[in-house]
Amino acid sequence: MDWSWLTIENLLDPGTLPGLVLIAILLLIAALLTSSLLTRLIERSQWVIGRFGRQIDETILRYTIRIKTLLVFTAALVVYISLIPGLEPLLGTLVAGAGVTALVLGFAAQSTLANLISGVGLAVYRPFRIGDRVTIEGEYGTIEDMTLRHTIVRTWENKRLVIPNKNIDNATLLNHSLIDPSILCRVEFGVSYDTDLDLAMRLIREESERCPHRQVDADPPRVRVISHGDFSIGLRAYVWAPDMDSAWDLRFWMLEQVKRRFDAEGVEIPFPYRTLVYKKDLPPPPRETEHGSDR
């Protein structure tokens, strides 16, 4: 077999097939090394800035790393195209018709570009950060990651809700961690109409004050009458919790403990009553006389 073609000149010549393959491999390795080095520098900068008492938002950090990776590999592709003689006219055409090319690519990748631009907006304006507790699309969870295309939310069931960035950019969400994570939790109860309201409200207040999940340094718990229903009087307890997770635990704890306390003190939690009247028990209709109906 003739190995005379296997020379340094041929291997580095972009006009030959071995040269094209070797240059592609070298550029790929260079892009990987450059991307890895820049990632370490960006992460190192977070540590350096932290030494000065400042902190970089992890959301911006991760998004910057992903944008950096996209730019590095795009630059490697442009360099590879410029080194191949057969593709140089294509590169010149792309540069000369950059506007038309951008328009065509924009239509072809409209959804991808919309997610990318929305992701940049989310990273800059930061309506949420990685680690924040949010309620979005009827789901409560934690922002786990944000990529160039989508945002990942870990729900309370430990499932992953994957939402495109353009959708989450236009959505209305509740951020339970922004500025102040504390939350005013509302727990509702019903008592019968013959209940001593002062007694029922006192029992609810006492259980609220000894709840281990409430925020101790906040305003004391309050209990209010909120409704006169068909079969019960509605009572509502207002208790501050340090965060949304504690609010869930507070609600479950209150429902259980107040029920136990009501049973011990003889306070009735009513249920709907229904009165059934059988047709045979109804009074007979009035009889008509010769001069007309009875009145």
Number of domains observed in the structure of the chain: 3
Residues 215 and 138 both lie in one domain = no
Tokens of 98: 């950059």
Q: Are residues 16 and 90 in the same domain?
A: yes
Q: Is there a domain that residue 114 lies in?
A: no
What residue numbers bound the domain in which 261 lies?
183-265
Helix, strand, coil in percent for the chain, rounding step 5: 50, 20, 30
CB 13 within 8 A of CB 19: yes
Condensed to tens digits (0 to 9), the pLDDT of residues 141-182 reads 999 988 888 899 999 889 999 999 889 888 888 998 888 899
Q: Which residues of 151-173 are buried (b: 16+ CB within 10 A; e: fewer)?
A: bbbeeeeeeebebbbbebbeeeb
217 domain-assigned: yes
User: Under a CB-based contact definition with an 8 Å cutoff, are residues 151 and 129 in contact?
Assistant: no
Q: pLDDT digits over 248-265, tens only?
A: 999 999 999 999 999 999
Inform me whether the pLDDT recorded for 53 exceeds 90.
no
What is the SS3 assignment for 131-190? Answer: CCEEEECCEEEEEEEECCCEEEEEECCCCEEEEEHHHHHHCCCEECCCCCCCEEEEEEEE
Measured distance CA(215)–CA(209) in Å, rounded: 10
Do both 18 and 61 map to the same domain?
yes
Enumerate residues 6+ apart whose C-beta is below 8 A from 215.
182, 240, 241, 242, 246
What CATH code is carried by the domain that includes residue 208? 3.30.70.100
CA dihedral over 166, 169, 172, 176, signed as positive or negative: positive
pLDDT band of residue 68 (cuts 50, 70, 90) is confident
How far is residue 39's CA from residue 33's CA, in Å, rounded to a whole number?
10
Torsion from C-alpha of 30, 32, 36, 38, nearest 10 degrees: 60
pLDDT band at 103 (very low <50, low <70, confident <90, very high): low
Residues 137/171, Cβ–Cβ less than 8 Å: yes
Q: Which is nearest to 199 in space by CA: 287, 265, 274, 117?
A: 265
Q: Which pLDDT tens digit goes with each residue over 213-245?
A: 999 999 999 999 999 988 899 999 999 999 999
The CATH number that applies at residue 150 is 2.30.30.60
| Structural domain includes residue 288 | no
Rounded distance between C-alpha atoms, residue 29 and residue 19, angstroms: 15
Residues 261, 241 within the same domain: yes
Whether the CA torsion 117, 119, 124, 126 is positive or negative: it is positive
